[in-house]
């Protein structure tokens, strides 16, 4: 999964690592080297990913820095509980994205290549808040994924169709 232009980061008081350590300590959980290396790896880049994609990026079995599959799944859930990552379902898979240190945003999802494109819209936020007031509902957030076909896939389809016309 990839995304378009990266969103501007929002200033935060703690680094993702420090925030995670604080979370683990508040829950009486151990701060292990595997957990720390996972938080460092996940926050070294801004991308959407699923657990399998993350596991592929990690050192292989036998490497001293290897992290087991069960540990990856458990730690991803801990990241969500700590407010570091947001999880959403896309085509039946759990997909993760950074939540901590990033602004409220929404997504376009290309149903051809599975790309996720992030965008922010002040007009959408205003409409959301206006609708909340109209229905006497205190809005605390939202998640919007608009499905369709990205420009690259649309152009690729056009190119393949025009080649077919040449035959």
110 annotated to bind ligand? yes
153 annotated to bind ligand? yes
113 annotated to bind ligand? yes
Q: Helices 69-81 and 16-26 sit at what angle, rounded to 10 degrees?
A: 90
106 annotated to bind ligand? yes
Contact in structure between 49 and 95 (CB atoms under 8 Å)? yes
81 annotated to bind ligand? no
46 annotated to bind ligand? no
Exposure pattern of 126-145 as b/e (b: 16+ CB <10 Å)?
A: eeeeeeeeeeeeeeeeeeee
Binding-site positions for Zn(2+): 110, 113, 150, 153
Q: Which residues are annotated as a binding site?
A: 106, 110, 113, 142, 150, 153
């Amino acid at each position: 999964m990839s995304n378009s232009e990266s969103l501007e980061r929002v200033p935060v008081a703690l680094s993702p690592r420090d925030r995670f350590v604080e979370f683990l300590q508040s829950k009486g959980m151990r701060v292990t080297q595997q957990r720390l290396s996972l938080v460092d790896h996940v926050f070294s880049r801004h991308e959407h990913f699923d657990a399998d994609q993350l596991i592929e990026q990690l050192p292989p079995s036998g490497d001293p820095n290897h992290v087991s599959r069960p540990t990856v799944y458990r730690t991803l859930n801990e990241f969500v509980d700590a407010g570091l990552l947001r999880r959403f379902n896309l085509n039946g898979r759990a997909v993760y994205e950074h939540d901590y240190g990033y602004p409220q945003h929404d997504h376009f999802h290309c149903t051809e290549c599975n790309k996720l494109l992030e965008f922010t819209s002040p007009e959408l936020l205003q409409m959301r808040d206006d609708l909340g007031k109209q229905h006497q509902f205190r809005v605390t957030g939202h998640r919007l994924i608009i499905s369709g076909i990205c420009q690259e896939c649309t152009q690729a389809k056009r190119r393949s169709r025009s080649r077919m016309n040449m035959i």
